[in-house]
Amino acid sequence: MRIQSNVNTSQYQNSVNHMKATEEQQKKSAKELSTGKKVNSAADDAVALAISKQIEKEVNSLNQGSKNISYGIDATNIADGALANISDSMGDIEQNTVRAMNGLYSESDRAILQEANEQSVATINQTINQAQYNEKKLLDGNTGDINIYTGAASSTITESDAKSAVADLENFDVSQAAEKISTKALDDTYSSLSSMRSKIGAETNGLEAAYKVNGNTAENLTAAQSRKEDADFADAVTRMKNSQVVNQAQNMALKKQMDSEESLVNKMFEV
């Protein structure tokens, strides 16, 4: 008598394979819920993962670029604040000059006004020397243009040479006769300083605009990345529950099959 003891081996193996597939689906759903991402490896979606990583790289670059821009804005604000202080000192010099041009002032009066102007010039030079960011002087004309990489492009803070602009003030003299005093040096200095402030203001506005563009672009890219890889929690929970139910049913079916096999074998060997 020939006993076929492996009559349901194929069916048994199919049941085991289905159970493994269900368990893998359950693990995948559980991982999505734990990480919050539906793409956790190249096996999940190789193309989506590659796109997501590229987007992540771009976002990181933009975020660092935004930090660079903020440093640039800080630098231009320092330069503009220094120029504002210089303008205040220029106002004092102009006021003293107008007073010295009054023919009723004596020579000693004009000497006092000249001394006050020289003190204001010294203050201006000190302001120029102290206007710096991270040890880079911003107004002395020796630093050169400063490049600001924004993460996607570049902006430039052009060199401001306030030292040269105020150079004529070193020899500006109001102690001489009133009719010999001229305001041309003051007018030229004012004009140069005004041009510098206008340029710095435009550069600050440009940097602030670039900062906003960076933020909007990074936000949109992050949203796109989320759509590529973020898990749908409702769907993941549903799939996990379904796989749990299927797994339980498969276990019951396999147990029933094994019990049936055992019963059949026992009957074959009954005396």
Distance CA 149, CA 245 (A): 55
> What CATH number does residue 95 fall under?
1.20.1330.10
Domain membership of residue 267 (yes or no) is: no
Residue 197 placed within a domain: yes
d(CA 14, CA 9): 9
pLDDT values of the chain reduced to their tens digit, one per residue, 271 residues = 444 444 456 655 665 665 555 655 655 555 555 666 656 665 666 777 788 788 889 999 999 999 999 999 999 999 999 999 999 999 999 999 999 999 889 999 999 999 999 999 999 999 999 999 999 999 999 989 999 999 888 899 999 999 999 999 999 999 999 899 999 999 999 999 999 999 999 999 999 999 999 999 998 988 877 776 655 545 555 655 555 555 565 566 556 665 565 565 555 555 5
Closest CA to 27 of 16, 12, 41: 41
* Whole-structure pTM value: 0.70
- Asked if the structure places residue 77 within a domain, the reply is yes
DSSP conformational letter for 180: G
Residue 222 within a domain:
yes
Query: Residues near 76 by Cβ (< 8 Å), separated by ≥ 6?
Result: 157, 200, 203, 204, 207
- Is residue 258 situated within a structural domain? no
Q: Confirm whether 56 is domain-assigned.
A: no
In the chain, the number of structural domains is 1
Range of the domain at 137: 68-228
Residue 37 — φ and ψ, nearest 5°? -125, 140
Cα dihedral 8, 10, 13, 14, rounded to 10, equals: -110
Q: Determine, yes or no, domain membership for 116.
A: yes
> Is residue 118 in some structural domain?
yes
